[in-house]
Amino acid sequence: MTSHSHLIEEIFTTLKIKPQNDSFYTGQKSGRSSSAAKLNIHTPIDGSKLAEASMATQEEYQQVISQAHTAFETWKSTPAPQRGEIVRQIGLKLRQYKEPLGKLVSLEMGKIYQEGLGEVQEMIDICDFAVGLSRQLHGFTMKSERPEHRMFEQYHPIGIVGIISAFNFPVAVWAWNAMLAAVCGDVCIWKPSEKTPLTAIACQHIVAEVLAENQLPEGIFNLVIGDRNLGEWMAQDERIPLVSATGSTRMGKEVAKNVAARLGKSLLELGGNNALIITEHANLDLALRATVFGAVGTCGQRCTTTRRLIVHESLLNQVKEILCKVYPQLNIGSPLEEGTLVGPLIDAEAVRSFQKALENVQAEGGKLLTGGEILKEKPLFEQGHYVSPAIVEAENHYSTVQCETFAPILYLISYNGDIQNAIKLQNDVKQGLSSAIFTQNLLQSERFLAEIGSDCGIANVNIGTSGAEIGGAFGGEKETGGGRESGSDAWKIYMRRQTNTINYSQSLPLAQGIKFDLEI
């Protein structure tokens, strides 16, 4: 029995998951897999083993693809509002199971329970958004240059959508993709991170419950558990017209290369190196609250984590003093305990990356102001992966600062003179996901949002870099991949676009006034 065996058993019972000999099948329901390869799943809270999951074989993967293809033939012909009704019911189930699901997210991934609940709420919110979308999915009408012709655009389901998700948001990002794809008439195949498959299995059971209640085929939503090889199978598979991948820039480049080689479509949500600018006109209380949450939330393991704090020189000493007082007071511990603000990193490799980045940046000339310790003083910490969030005074051009370290390290950078100097520092990295400015000066905020301002996909004024709402399109530029998920018109990537022209005249005029006289 592990230290969390009772809790995991309680969660599984509530979610109606029935593990068989601690194993799970890779497809729609639980059961034994023929695969000999097993994946051991540990909690980062104390390193204890939670369960095992079966890894998909190539044969099982082919079966899932076949199941998905068969289901698509039925699903694409189902009226979109009816597809929306299924998603509405999924949202209701998620509401029903919100607390145990949120607890499972915290247990398996390590984010604090409030953030676990927030992630489940994101799934619920995107279900609500998708239900409304199911009665829109609109095209456009254009004026034809030819008399008695009607020209318009419409959107059709694309087919199978492959979803490769990351450990830091083990369920929300899947829902962003899967619920929109579902109302668009697509089916999906989900490869969760091998670090967090239990939350994926739980979601799959919830979806299976809804499909069974509505007598729908299982293959609309599919789950396959595997390692990097499985991701390569999906990226190279011509039967999957769209692959949506969330993860590191390195991983995204491999996915993009494989998908592009077969002229498929990829939706990439990759690394971020997000900056928050504090100008001399900022409300400092608001700015520092946003900074701390953005920098240490999810133990620095969000793609939108605040990694660089660019502060006007007139406020630098004051900001340093306040942050160096606040950071040591952060409550670090089990994410399941009330009052904890910072949980563990995901695994030992993440701790090593944290250590290495701090060593490298100090070798470049950075000054460690606070934090940076590997915590071992409590019994809980001995087998877990706990660190104290660090603040390093540094220069933007340092190679370590230029790279994303998926851990709670905040680089403090000063600027002088005009706001344009701060914006230049912010933009001077290869990533372009999220950005923020704190200022009460209208001219500064407008410059930040103008063509000469932030080059990121997300640009916020007087709120932090993390915590995006589902109503807006989420994604970034440059090495962040250029993809857009969630709200706005992000749904269009899950469909194929078609231009239609109808001639209701008795003649055959050609476009551009071309004359082609032919007697028939």
Strand intervals (E) in 94-148: 140-142
Tokens 């095992």 sit on residue:
52
Distance CA 282, CA 155 (A): 45
β-bridge partners, 152: 141, 500
So what's the pLDDT on residue 28?
41
- pLDDT tens track for 231-255: 999 999 999 999 999 999 999 999 9
So what's the pLDDT on residue 29?
44
β-bridge partners, 306: 274
So what's the pLDDT on residue 19?
61
- Strongest mean pLDDT among 31-35, 78-82, 508-512: 78-82
The yes-or-no verdict on residue 354 having pLDDT over 50 is yes
Residues sharing a CB contact under 8 Å with residue 274, sequence separation 6 or more, in sequence order = 294, 304, 305, 306, 307, 308, 431, 433, 434, 435, 436, 456, 465, 466
Taking the whole predicted model, whether its pTM rises above 0.85 is answered as yes
Percent of the chain with pLDDT over 70: 96
So what's the pLDDT on residue 36?
57
- pLDDT tens track for 421-441: 999 999 999 999 999 999 999
So what's the pLDDT on residue 26?
40
303 in catalytic set: yes
Listed in sequence order, the DSSP H helices in 169-279 are 172-183, 197-213, 228-236, 249-261
Q: Give the dihedral of Cα atoms 180, 305, 334, 171; nearest 10 deg.
A: 10
What average pLDDT does this structure show over 197-213? 95
**Residue 366 three-state SS:** coil
**16 φψ region: left (φ > 0), alpha (ψ -120 to 50), beta (else):** left
Count H helices and E strands in the chain, helices first: 16, 21
Q: 233, 242, 238, 247: which is closest to 192 by C-alpha? A: 247
The yes-or-no verdict on residue 31 having pLDDT over 70 is no
Q: Which of 119, 218, 269, 479 is catalytic?
A: 269
β-bridge partners, 153: 140, 499
Tokens 């676009």 sit on residue:
497
Encoding tokens for residue 381? 């910490």
- Report the chain's mean pLDDT, rounded to a whole number: 94
Contact status, residue 461 vs residue 445, Cβ threshold 8 Å: yes
Percent of the chain with pLDDT over 90: 89
Distance CA 282, CA 440 (A): 6
Pick from 101-115, 297-311, 506-520: least confident: 506-520
What average pLDDT does this structure show over 447-473? 96
Q: Which of 122, 303, 456, 485 is catalytic?
A: 303
Distances (CA, A) of 491 to 1, 130, 174, 304, 451: 45, 9, 14, 22, 26
Q: Give the dihedral of Cα atoms 107, 108, 112, 115; nearest 10 deg.
A: -120
Tokens 């949980």 sit on residue:
343
What average pLDDT does this structure show over 375-380? 89
Q: Which residues of 217-239 are buried (b: 16+ CB within 10 A; e: fewer)?
A: bbbbbbbbbbeeebbebbbebee
Contact status, residue 386 vs residue 46, Cβ threshold 8 Å: no
Kindly tell me the sign of the dihedral angle through the C-alpha atoms of 154, 72, 176, 226.
negative
Neighbours of 298 (CB within 10 A): 26
Residues sharing a CB contact under 8 Å with residue 176, sequence separation 6 or more, in sequence order = 122, 126, 470, 474, 485, 486
**Residue 98 three-state SS:** helix
Selected residue with higher pLDDT from 26 and 253:
253
The yes-or-no verdict on residue 413 having pLDDT over 50 is yes
Distance CA 519, CA 509 (A): 15
Q: Please give the DSSP secondary-structure letter assigned to residue 194.
A: T
So what's the pLDDT on residue 6?
82
Q: 284, 263, 277, 260: which is closest to 481 by C-alpha? A: 260
So what's the pLDDT on residue 519?
83
Contact status, residue 466 vs residue 293, Cβ threshold 8 Å: yes
- pLDDT tens track for 494-509: 999 999 999 999 999 9
- pLDDT tens track for 156-201: 999 999 999 999 999 999 999 999 999 999 999 999 999 999 999 9
Which amino acid is located at 54 in the chain?
Answer: S
Distance CA 314, CA 367 (A): 19
So what's the pLDDT on residue 379?
87
Contact status, residue 492 vs residue 483, Cβ threshold 8 Å: no
The yes-or-no verdict on residue 132 having pLDDT over 80 is yes
Confidence of residue 27 (pLDDT cuts 50, 70, 90): very low
456 in catalytic set: no
The yes-or-no verdict on residue 273 having pLDDT over 80 is yes
β-bridge partners, 477: 432
Residues sharing a CB contact under 8 Å with residue 8, sequence separation 6 or more, in sequence order = 2, 50, 51, 104, 107, 198
Confidence of residue 512 (pLDDT cuts 50, 70, 90): very high
Q: Give the dihedral of Cα atoms 311, 315, 321, 323; nearest 10 deg.
A: -40
So what's the pLDDT on residue 46?
94
Pick from 31-45, 188-202, 341-355: least confident: 31-45
Distance CA 302, CA 409 (A): 12
Confidence of residue 396 (pLDDT cuts 50, 70, 90): very high
Q: 149, 145, 200, 202: which is closest to 171 by C-alpha? A: 200
What average pLDDT does this structure show over 317-339? 97
What average pLDDT does this structure show over 104-131? 98
What average pLDDT does this structure show over 49-66? 93
Q: 359, 444, 344, 364: which is closest to 112 by C-alpha? A: 344
